[in-house]
């Protein structure tokens, strides 16, 4: 784990990249922040989490870090030990964790629940949607208080790396660490007028097949009876209307993505 503290005093704000080693955008954003020589109003901790997996260009060495929290300092698995170490480094911090996907190019945010930090910060991030995961957070960092995840874009792309940096800059501005880019004082990051909120309802399992396709688009309503994906020659049709989230043919081994409901907006 690679940790950089900026400013004086114990940080209460943190940005974390490379929880997954095959998602380099967060690490690139953290290193860009370190190199930017930021003038910080509050101390901040910048972390490249699973640098060993990042160097090996694999998602993880022994176990998925984002399914290993709270971790175990005496575990055999590298990521279970790392989860415990990372939580210790984030103790007392409001945290932004940066990820990327194989399913969607535009940034969106993910939270366990709409707590005060999510409500205060999410509208100031350059995202169009917030996903509330509720029952689908076991072992993930966002189970822990005052933590937001952002999906910065397509895995491995330069676009995701650039998005990750500006998401982090917006988060730092929204939490009073730095002025917004181009501003002379600490102000909000000037996010969207309102941000749509979706709540995950269920997983979409994948039948066994050699080839998979998706027809629906993430965050766009699928109507009852509409074909939204295919496993080989079998088309999957919606039993009832839903909004697909993280829907992709090969992003997950055993599921297409998630069924979600649109539950409102935050302003």
- Does 186 map to a domain? no
Two tokens, residue 110:
């993910």
| pLDDT confidence of residue 183 | 56
| pLDDT confidence of residue 115 | 79
| pLDDT confidence of residue 211 | 97
- Does 196 map to a domain? no
| pLDDT confidence of residue 267 | 65
101 and 230 in a single domain? The answer is no
pTM above 0.85, yes or no: yes
The CATH code of the domain that includes 137 is: 3.40.630.10
99 and 165 in a single domain? The answer is yes
- Does 39 map to a domain? yes
To 10 degrees, the CA torsion angle through 195, 199, 203, 204?
-50
| pLDDT confidence of residue 83 | 98
| pLDDT confidence of residue 180 | 72
Given a contact cutoff of 8 angstroms between Cβ atoms, the answer to whether 43 and 12 are in contact is yes
Of the residues 175, 191, 210, the one at which a domain ends: 175
206 and 171 in a single domain? The answer is no
- Counted domains in the chain: 2
169 and 211 in a single domain? The answer is no
- Does 44 map to a domain? yes
The contacts found for 76-80 with CB under 8 angstroms, 24 or more apart, are 78/52, 79/50, 79/53
38 and 136 in a single domain? The answer is yes
134 and 254 in a single domain? The answer is no
| pLDDT confidence of residue 189 | 45
The CATH code of the domain that includes 212 is: 2.40.50
What residues make up the domain containing 139?
A: 2-175
| pLDDT confidence of residue 153 | 95
123 and 253 in a single domain? The answer is no
233 and 105 in a single domain? The answer is no
- Does 188 map to a domain? no
| pLDDT confidence of residue 190 | 47
- Does 123 map to a domain? yes
141 and 210 in a single domain? The answer is no
54 and 135 in a single domain? The answer is yes
Tens-of-pLDDT digits for all 267 residues of the chain? 999 999 999 999 999 999 999 999 999 999 999 999 899 999 999 999 999 999 999 999 999 999 999 999 999 999 999 999 999 999 999 999 999 998 899 999 999 987 787 888 888 899 989 999 988 888 999 988 889 999 999 999 999 999 999 999 999 999 999 987 665 544 444 455 678 999 999 999 999 999 999 999 999 999 999 999 999 999 999 999 999 999 999 988 899 999 999 998 876
Given a contact cutoff of 8 angstroms between Cβ atoms, the answer to whether 159 and 165 are in contact is no
220 and 93 in a single domain? The answer is no
| pLDDT confidence of residue 218 | 95
CA distance 246 to 244: 7
167 and 235 in a single domain? The answer is no
CA distance 45 to 75: 26
- Does 184 map to a domain? no
- Does 264 map to a domain? no
Residues whose CB falls within 8 Å of the CB of residue 184, separated by 6 or more in sequence, listed in order: none
């Amino acid at each position: 784990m690679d940790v950089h503290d900026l400013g004086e005093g114990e940080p209460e704000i943190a940005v974390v990249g490379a929880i997954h080693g095959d998602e380099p955008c967060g690490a690139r954003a953290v290193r860009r922040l370190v190199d930017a020589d930021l003038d910080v109003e509050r101390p901040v901790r910048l972390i490249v989490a699973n640098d060993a997996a990042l160097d090996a260009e694999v998602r993880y060495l022994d176990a998925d870090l984002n399914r290993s929290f709270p971790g175990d300092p005496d575990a055999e698995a590298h990521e279970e030990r790392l989860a415990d170490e990372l939580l210790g480094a984030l103790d007392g911090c409001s945290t932004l964790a940066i990820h990327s996907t194989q399913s969607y190019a535009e940034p969106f945010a993910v939270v366990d629940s709409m707590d005060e930090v999510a409500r205060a910060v999410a509208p100031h991030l350059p995202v169009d949607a917030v996903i509330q995961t509720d029952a689908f957070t076991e072992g993930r960092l966002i189970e822990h208080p005052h933590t937001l995840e952002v999906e910065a874009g397509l895995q491995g792309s330069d676009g995701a790396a650039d998005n990750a940096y500006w998401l982090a800059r917006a988060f730092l501005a929204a939490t009073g660490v730095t002025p917004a880019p181009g501003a002379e004082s600490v102000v909000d990051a000037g996010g969207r007028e309102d941000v749509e909120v979706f709540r995950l309802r269920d997983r979409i399992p994948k039948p066994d097949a050699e080839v998979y396709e998706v027809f629906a688009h993430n965050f766009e309503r699928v109507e009852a009876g509409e074909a939204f994906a295919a496993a080989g020659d079998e088309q999957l049709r919606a039993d009832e209307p839903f909004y697909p989230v993280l829907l992709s043919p090969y992003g997950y081994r055993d599921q297409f993505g998630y069924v979600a409901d649109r539950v409102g907006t935050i302003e």
